[in-house]
Amino acid sequence: MITLFEEAAELQELLQSEGLDFFFVGGIPLQIWGQPRLTTDIDLTVFTGLINEDERINWFLSRYKPLIGTSLSTLQFARQRRVLLLQTQSQTEIDVMLGALADLSEELRRASFQQFTPSISLKVCSADSLIALKTVAGRGQDFVDIETVVIKQDVIDWEYIESYLDQVMEYEDISAKREALQQNRKTVNK
């Protein structure tokens, strides 16, 4: 049976062979930065450069199956929502967030390769970026995950996280999520 980390490593190899900038987010980096927990999907950000995005989406669709619907409906969804919903042959879900310009991405600059097994190293977002991204997602489990990251990490760049959230506020009111993060931070006392 192929493991989630093996599937992520295969995907990473494909992305690297195409020269794409990317990093894993969600449950995979949580295994490093917070309290490991069961995760059954692969979440990542891939930078498209905002050029020929349909071509890039179709490249993914030629290698992975649409999670829901047809290739055409998946393409249309990705255009509108900037998320490409796929699945592997073994039905592991892959959520590909379509990033814009890699050279403008602080999150990409902060990403690093981390060892998951003796033979698998994956490029993951930083602990700080994980906190910021999970705050924006704002589900109950996200705040539980954030707490484990805050507890486990000795150093957290709260200034960077606040700056990231300031940028997101331009597009979406995340005041309640931001308040939940502040409460979480006070609880852990960092």
Sheet holding 41-47, edge to edge: 65-66, 83-87, 93-99, 41-47, 22-25, 120-124, 112-117
Separation of alpha carbons 143 and 177, rounded Å? 9
Tokens 């906190």 correspond to 131
Q: What is the pLDDT of residues 124-174, one digit of tens each?
A: 999 999 999 999 999 999 999 999 999 999 999 999 999 999 998 888 889
Q: What is the pLDDT of residues 20-34, one digit of tens each?
A: 999 999 999 999 999
pTM attached to this predicted model = 0.92
